[in-house]
């Protein structure tokens, strides 16, 4: 199957059934920062699907990542019977907490990892459907799609931000992304063996790009999404700037020439064309200077050459690091 194919193949039902019966270790990673009022209910809800997961051949493990909470999040989680706990001494950001949790799950022998929010916005009963494409060997990465079953109307700024990042992720991964910022995602063993996200903030875009550039198959599954009643969202006005900067880091790691090389060529080409046009206008007597917009032309050419040089150097480094 083509990497990152969002379509579901239908041809091999007998093989899908046998795949789902194989024993597997499912780790649900729950990052939390000051979620004392909701964490016990989250753990209890996740525990309620243990029998369903067992019926699929899996064993359920709930792993809390305490991202420097200053309240009773840890105490409430332990009281609720969480299976595992990892703590950051200080708050490092959601991306860092997700990375810590996934790496810890991998170290504990996870075959599938589900990232799940600690704010009660997601429904644990969606998890079996979320991991089904992985169990049936139809996908390596599954994102929850919230917009068909959302229980409230998102604020306009959030809706516009989602549309922008969905379009950006679709452009970068060459396939349709209907919800690129969900709080519930599932990662299969193939992707877990290659997993790496460098940034401490927007984990969802980083994981999607990381999976794409590692040749993983991607799909989305409808999930429920409830309004937040406790805690505070990590989304702020800084989000677009930080998110885009971390997306650029991923692109520099995996496809430097595709982005920076093309951008450099375009800038250099535009600067060169402007230079030729303005020189021609000077010789035709239309202008009294050889180059009217010196700063613009020089700036475009320099920006283009620097971007192209960066792309070439980054690509050489990437090629040297390949096995």
* Integer-rounded Cα radius of gyration of the chain: 24
- Whether residue 230 lies inside any domain: the answer is yes
> Is residue 62 predicted with pLDDT exceeding 80?
yes
> Is residue 15 predicted with pLDDT exceeding 70?
no
Please write down the HEC assignment for all residues of 102-135: HHHHHHCCCCEEEECCCCCCCCHHHHHHHHHHHH
**Where is mean pLDDT largest: 171-180, 226-235, 280-289?**
280-289
Measure the CA–CA gap between 225 and 296, rounded to whole angstroms.
48
What percent of the chain has pLDDT above 90?
45
262 and 226, same structural domain?
no
Q: What angle do CA 186, 191, 193 make, to 5 degrees?
A: 125
> Is residue 164 predicted with pLDDT exceeding 50?
yes
* pLDDT level of residue 8 (50, 70, 90 thresholds): very low
List pLDDT tens digits, range 16-35: 444 445 899 999 999 999 99
More confident residue, 179 or 215: 215
The pLDDT value recorded for residue 86 is 96
Q: Work out the average pLDDT over 134-156.
A: 84
The pLDDT value recorded for residue 150 is 74
- Whether residue 232 lies inside any domain: the answer is yes
Q: Work out the average pLDDT over 85-114.
A: 95
More confident residue, 3 or 265: 265
268 and 241, same structural domain?
no
More confident residue, 295 or 60: 60
Residues 6+ apart with CB under 8 A from 304: 263, 264, 265, 266, 267, 268, 269, 270, 271
Kindly report the average pLDDT of the chain as a whole number: 83
The answer to whether the CB of 16 falls within 8 A of the CB of 137 is: yes
The answer to whether the CB of 88 falls within 8 A of the CB of 99 is: no
Residues 6+ apart with CB under 8 A from 75: 36
Instruction: Evaluate the CA torsion angle 129, 20, 177, 261 in order and state its sign.
Output: positive
The number of residues making up the chain comes to 323
Measure the CA–CA gap between 272 and 265, rounded to whole angstroms.
10
**What is the 8-class DSSP label of residue 91?**
-
Measure the CA–CA gap between 299 and 7, rounded to whole angstroms.
44
The pLDDT value recorded for residue 138 is 95
215 and 150, same structural domain?
yes
The pLDDT value recorded for residue 20 is 46
Q: Work out the average pLDDT over 303-316.
A: 76
124 and 271, same structural domain?
no
162 and 131, same structural domain?
yes
* CATH number, residue 39: 3.90.550.10
Listed residues 254, 276, 297: the one ending a domain: 254
Element containing residue 66 per DSSP (H, E): strand 58-67
More confident residue, 76 or 154: 76
Q: CB-side exposure of 182: number of CA atoms within 13 Å?
A: 33
Q: CB-side exposure of 81: number of CA atoms within 13 Å?
A: 9
The answer to whether the CB of 57 falls within 8 A of the CB of 44 is: no
pTM of the model: 0.71
Least confident piece of the model among 23-27, 70-74, 123-127, 193-197: 193-197
* pLDDT level of residue 4 (50, 70, 90 thresholds): low
Least confident piece of the model among 44-58, 185-199, 216-230: 216-230
152 and 86, same structural domain?
yes
The answer to whether the CB of 107 falls within 8 A of the CB of 38 is: no
> Is residue 6 predicted with pLDDT exceeding 50?
no
Q: Work out the average pLDDT over 256-262.
A: 76
- Whether residue 143 lies inside any domain: the answer is yes
Q: What angle do CA 114, 116, 122 make, to 5 degrees?
A: 125
Indicate the number of domains in the chain: 2
Measure the CA–CA gap between 268 and 277, rounded to whole angstroms.
14
Q: Work out the average pLDDT over 224-239.
A: 62
Measure the CA–CA gap between 311 and 255, rounded to whole angstroms.
8
The pLDDT value recorded for residue 217 is 94
Least confident piece of the model among 23-27, 78-82, 278-282: 278-282
The pLDDT value recorded for residue 19 is 43
Listed residues 254, 274, 305: the one ending a domain: 254
Q: What angle do CA 30, 32, 34 make, to 5 degrees?
A: 155
Least confident piece of the model among 33-47, 148-162, 172-186: 148-162
The answer to whether the CB of 183 falls within 8 A of the CB of 121 is: yes
Whose CA is closest to 32, among 66, 5, 78? Answer: 66
For residue 69, the enclosing domain spans 13-254
Measure the CA–CA gap between 259 and 307, rounded to whole angstroms.
9
Listed residues 225, 254, 283: the one ending a domain: 254
Rounded to whole angstroms, what are the CA distances from 28 to 112, 124, 164, 193, 245?
Answer: 9, 10, 29, 17, 28
């Amino acid at each position: 199957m083509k990497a990152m194919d969002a379509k579901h193949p239908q041809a091999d039902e007998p093989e899908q059934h046998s795949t789902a019966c194989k024993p597997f270790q499912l780790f649900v990673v729950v990052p939390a920062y000051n979620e004392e009022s909701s964490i016990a209910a989250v753990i209890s809800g996740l525990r309620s699907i243990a029998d369903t997961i067992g019926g699929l051949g899996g064993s359920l493990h709930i792993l809390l990542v305490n991202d420097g909470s200053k309240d009773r999040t840890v105490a409430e989680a332990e009281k609720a019977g969480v299976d595992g706990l990892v703590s950051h001494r200080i708050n490092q950001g959601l991306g860092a907490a997700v990375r810590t949790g996934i790496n810890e799950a991998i170290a504990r022998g996870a075959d599938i990892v589900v990232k799940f929010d600690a704010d009660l916005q997601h429904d644990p009963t969606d998890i079996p459907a979320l991991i089904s494409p992985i169990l049936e060997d139809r996908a390596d990465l599954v994102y929850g799609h919230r917009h068909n079953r959302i229980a409230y109307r998102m604020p306009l700024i959030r809706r516009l931000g989602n549309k922008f990042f969905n379009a950006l992720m679709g452009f970068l991964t060459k396939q349709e992304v209907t919800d690129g910022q969900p709080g519930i995602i599932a990662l299969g063993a193939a992707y877990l063996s290659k997993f790496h996200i460098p940034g401490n903030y927007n984990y969802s875009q980083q994981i999607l790009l990381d999976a794409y550039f590692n040749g993983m198959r991607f799909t989305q599954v409808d999930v429920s999404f409830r309004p937040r009643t406790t805690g505070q969202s990590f989304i702020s006005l800084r989000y677009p700037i930080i998110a885009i900067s971390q997306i650029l880091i991923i692109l520099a790691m995996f496809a430097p020439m595709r982005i920076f090389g093309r951008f450099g060529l375009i800038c250099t080409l535009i600067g060169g064309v402007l230079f030729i046009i303005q020189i021609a206008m000077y010789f035709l007597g239309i202008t009294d200077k050889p180059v009217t917009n010196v700063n613009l032309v020089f700036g475009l050419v320099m920006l283009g050459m620097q971007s192209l040089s960066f792309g070439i150097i980054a690509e050489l480094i990437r090629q040297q690091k390949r096995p």
